[in-house]
Amino acid sequence: MNKTSMILDVDTGVDDAFAVLFAAMHPAIRLLGVTCVDGNTNVDQVVANTLKVLDAAGAGDIPVARGAVRPLLGESKYAEYVHGADGMGDLGIAPSQRRIDKRSAVELLRDLIEESVDPVTLVPLAPLTNVALFLRAFPETAKKLHRIVLMGGSASAGNATAAAEFNVWHDPEAAAIVFQSGVPITMYGLDVFMRPGVTREEANRLVQSAQTSAQFGGALINAFIERLGVSPITLGDYGAVATAIHPELFTTEMFDVVVDTSSGPARGQTICDRRDSFLKELEPLDLEDSAKVRVVMDLDVEAVRQLWLKTIDKGWS
């Protein structure tokens, strides 16, 4: 089986946990490492949560590194109202015995990409602070990065604000650096983010499973449903990982994209130029700052849902 060599950058977070669990368990993914960043909660809590998810996945010795403690500019803006006080559903899971890698996130990114014998796919599921710092610190290594498949942005409405999606809104300057980097980018944004979900009934079936990973996934989903009061609840960040290994399940369009780094009401918006070509010629989108980005606009929801369920619960049918 062809494997995809992958690095995740996370702010674990409940839906980051869905993604890490899947990436650590799916046989077509070679998870090289995980870097942690300030986002849903503080970076030390993100590290602690990520280590617990790797335990639940029964993962091998996958390096996990600590990264940026706040955005490039401005202050942290946490999302405990969505992810709980501990950032991962307040399930009271015992601390992991795993040890964090001694390298910083940007050093781990550099080393993993330099050492990989095959192309590396970087999957950021969080504010892009670590990725921007890596691009600026190690530009020669960045040229070796095969592609970025990120959860972030929106070609339509926002969630953190009317215009901006949380990961981009949290650090717009970092997002602008990443989008303008020249690395091929696939953007899994809010246009599809909410669609692949799991119901309370399915979560209860997972909790009853004999498999630790399924029990963990089911408990997280139930905690998410209780906190947000909706069922089905989205698998969120996981969708970006699925996009990276099963592109046939997703429909994409190429758009010129600019990140708004102003201080106005659209700060953090990923402005996607969806106009007809003759109109675009009238007034091109700010071309020195725009990038051609592959934006996910549709997906086979049931196939994407089943892919996650069957990966974390071998007995799922």
Cβ neighbours around 3 below 10 Å, total: 13
Residues 122-141 that bind ligand RIB (CB under 6 A): 125-126
The correct pick among 51, 62, 68, 126 for binding Ca ion (CB under 5 A) is: 126
Residue placing its CB nearer to ligand RIB in the complex, 40 or 181: 40
CA distance 165 to 190: 7
Residue whose beta carbon is closest to ligand RIB: 166
Scanning 106-114, 162-170, 205-213, 216-224 for contacts with ligand RIB by CB under 6 A, the matching segment is 162-170
Q: Does 165 bind Ca ion (CB under 5 A)?
A: no
The two structure tokens encoding residue 118: 């095959």
Q: How far is CA 127 from CA 120, 165, 169, 313, 315, in A?
A: 20, 10, 8, 29, 35
Query: Among residues 110 and 225, whose Cβ is nearest to ligand RIB?
Result: 225
Q: Are strands 250-259 and 291-299 parallel, antiparallel or unpaired?
A: antiparallel
CA distances from 259 to 94, 138, 162, 170, 271 (A): 39, 22, 15, 12, 6
CA 137 centroid distance within chain: 22
Residues 170-199 that bind ligand RIB (CB under 6 A): none
In the list ligand RIB, Ca ion, none, the entry touching 63 (Cβ below 5 to 8 angstroms by class) is none
Q: Does 164 bind ligand RIB (CB under 6 A)?
A: no
How many other β-carbons are positioned within 10 Å of the β-carbon of residue 239? 31
The single residue among 4, 8, 9, 15 that binds ligand RIB, judged by CB under 6 A, is: 15
Q: Which is nearer to Ca ion, 11 or 171 (CB)?
A: 11
Which long-range CB contacts under 8 A does 272-275 form with residues at least 24 apart?
Answer: 272/153, 272/155, 274/155
Which one among 6, 8, 9, 11 touches ligand RIB, defined by CB under 6 A?
Answer: 11
Contacts with 80 (C-beta within 8 Å, 6 or more apart), sequence order = 40, 41, 87
Contacts with ligand RIB: how many residues (CB under 6 A)?
16
Residue 166 in the binding site for ligand RIB (CB under 6 A): yes
Min. distance of Cβ 167 from ligand RIB in angstroms?
A: 5
237 touches ligand RIB by CB under 6 A = yes
- Amino acid letter for position 49: N
CB of 76 to ligand RIB, least distance (A): 12
Among residues 13, 189, 197, 268, which is the contact residue for Ca ion, using CB under 5 A?
13
Please state, as a whole number, how many other Cβ atoms lie within 10 Å of the Cβ of residue 149.
26
Residues 16-45 that bind ligand RIB (CB under 6 A): 16, 39-40
d(Cα 39, Cα 50) in Å, to the nearest integer? Answer: 13
- Residues 65-104, one symbol each (x = binds ligand RIB by CB under 6 A, - = not), give --------------x-------------------------
**Taken in order 60, 38, 246, 32, is the CA torsion positive or negative?**
negative
**Number of residues located near Ca ion, criterion CB under 5 A:** 6
- Between CA 244 and CA 190 the distance in angstroms is 17
Chosen from ligand RIB, Ca ion, none, partner binding at 159 (C-beta under 5 to 8 Å by type): ligand RIB
Contacting range for Ca ion; rule: CB under 5 A; set: 7-15, 99-107, 112-120, 127-135: 7-15
- Give the three-class secondary structure for 177: helix
Query: Which residues make up the interface to ligand RIB (CB under 6 A)?
Result: 11, 13, 15-16, 39-40, 79, 125-126, 151, 159, 165-167, 236-237
Query: Which residues make up the interface to Ca ion (CB under 5 A)?
Result: 11, 13, 16, 125-126, 237
